[in-house]
């Protein structure tokens, strides 16, 4: 089964095929080793920029071409130079941008101003590829896979790395389930989706200990809090046949959702379908899950309500996030016969579901983060 684990990792990190134009965003040059620590900045001219929406461009797995695109309040798009291999997720905390870079096994942290990014520093996470970030009490909790080796990380427990954002030191590691992914904080506990299994880990952030492990169904990925209930998107693979070398020759990607509401746990499997990233968001006072080229509202039994669909794209959004009551969809580009992916796009939809903005960004756009002055 050694090589089947490689295919599994490639499916997770490559994602879905889409058709989109190439990016025409403006690149910056920044050497993080420079003694002058020159920032990525731009000249705003007579109009002062007061906000940024950041887009994590994962890049192609193993190609070391991950970047961050930055959209200013005037709709101009700028793109950093390469900052690592697979820019997995981003988070804004105060005036800092925190970037988890999966294959490079590090965090990159920047200062944010109205002019751009500066003061690039890094936190080494060698041996534990980072996935998602949640900031609680001045500390970045980073979900990390348990090993760098794709033959191993799908079979061993992962960790939450707790990084002090003042000292930039890893204070402790909390062992959780296999391949931890999404995080959500409910003001008392931090919840972790263990995507390689079927559980959520509940973390007491005062003691940094696991206080409960809850079964929620196979492949928990992303989490959102709604009225004290935790909604979970799920994605997993069923392998029916492998060849003599361990390659998957017959397998199926499956999808579902779960919800923890007090002592009640609701689980719903959808079977196969076009889902890709599996985002779950709260929008227009309802919970939505990405599916089949858009997002669908969920009823109390987690059924997908087609009447509540928003967005209709040829392929499902890789990631969806609500920013200032607008939906931001990241759409990945084409992958050719040589597995080279073209640049992706971002689509912004209003509360009625109408597309109001379109941005060309980098390769494999995923996570979003927002900063306002």
pLDDT tens digit sequence for 271-304:
887 655 589 999 999 999 998 889 999 999 999 9
CA–CA distance, 105 with 326 (Å, rounded to integer): 32
Q: Does domain 2-30+50-372 fall into CATH 3.90.1150.10?
A: no
CB of 73 within 8 A of CB of 51? yes
Identify the pLDDT of residue 209: 98
Domain ranges of the chain: 2-30+50-372
CB of 147 within 8 A of CB of 132? no
CA–CA distance, 367 with 182 (Å, rounded to integer): 12
Least-confidence region, from 17-21, 96-100, 339-343:
17-21
CA–CA distance, 182 with 192 (Å, rounded to integer): 6
Q: Which long-range contacts (CB under 8 A, 24 or more apart) does 235-243 make?
A: 235/195, 235/275, 235/278, 236/195, 237/8, 237/11, 239/4, 242/1, 242/4
DSSP3 helix / strand / coil % (the chain, rounded to 5): 5, 55, 40
Output 221 or 19, whichever has higher pLDDT: 221
Identify the pLDDT of residue 17: 40
Identify the pLDDT of residue 265: 98
CA–CA distance, 184 with 214 (Å, rounded to integer): 15
Identify the pLDDT of residue 10: 40
Mean pLDDT within 88-100: 98
Does the predicted model carry a pTM greater than 0.75? yes
Give residue-wise pLDDT tens across range 219-235. Answer: 999 999 999 999 999 99
Identify the pLDDT of residue 38: 42
Give residue-wise pLDDT tens across range 304-324. Answer: 999 989 999 987 789 999 999
């Amino acid at each position: 089964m050694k090589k089947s684990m490689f295919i599994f990792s490639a499916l997770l990190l490559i994602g879905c095929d889409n058709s989109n134009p190439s990016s025409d965003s403006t690149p910056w040059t920044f050497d993080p080793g420079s003694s002058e620590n020159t920032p990525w900045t731009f000249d705003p001219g007579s109009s002062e920029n007061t906000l940024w929406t950041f887009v994590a461009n994962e890049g192609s797995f193993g190609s070391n071409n991950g970047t961050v695109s930055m959209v200013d309040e005037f709709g101009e798009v700028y793109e950093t130079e390469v900052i690592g291999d697979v820019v997995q997720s981003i988070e804004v905390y105060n005036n800092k941008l925190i970037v988890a870079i999966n294959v490079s096994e590090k965090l990159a942290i920047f200062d944010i101003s109205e002019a751009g990014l500066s003061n690039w520093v890094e936190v080494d996470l060698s041996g534990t590829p980072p996935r998602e970030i949640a900031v609680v009490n001045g500390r970045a909790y980073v979900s990390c896979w348990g090993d760098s080796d794709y033959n191993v990380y799908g079979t061993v427990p992962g960790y939450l790395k707790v990084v002090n954002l003042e000292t930039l030191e890893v204070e402790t590691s909390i062992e959780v389930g296999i391949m931890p992914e999404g995080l959500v904080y409910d003001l008392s506990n931090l919840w972790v989706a263990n995507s390689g299994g079927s559980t959520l880990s509940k973390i007491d952030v005062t003691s940094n200990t696991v206080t409960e492990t809850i079964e929620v169904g196979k492949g928990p990925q992303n989490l959102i809090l709604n009225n004290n209930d935790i909604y979970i998107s799920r994605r997993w693979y069923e392998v029916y046949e492998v060849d003599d070398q361990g390659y998957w020759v017959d397998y199926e990607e499956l999808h579902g959702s779960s919800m923890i509401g007090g002592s009640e746990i609701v689980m719903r499997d959808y079977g196969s379908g076009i889902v890709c990233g599996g985002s779950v968001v709260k929008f227009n006072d309802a919970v939505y899950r990405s599916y089949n080229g858009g997002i669908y509202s969920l009823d109390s039994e987690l059924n997908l309500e087609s009447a509540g669909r928003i967005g209709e794209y040829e392929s499902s959004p890789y990631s969806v996030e609500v920013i200032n009551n607008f939906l931001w969809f990241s759409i990945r580009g084409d992958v050719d016969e040589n597995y080279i992916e073209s640049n992706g796009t971002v689509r912004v939809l209003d509360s009625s579901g109408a597309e109001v903005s379109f941005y060309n960004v980098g390769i494999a756009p995923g996570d979003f983060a927002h900063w306002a002055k």
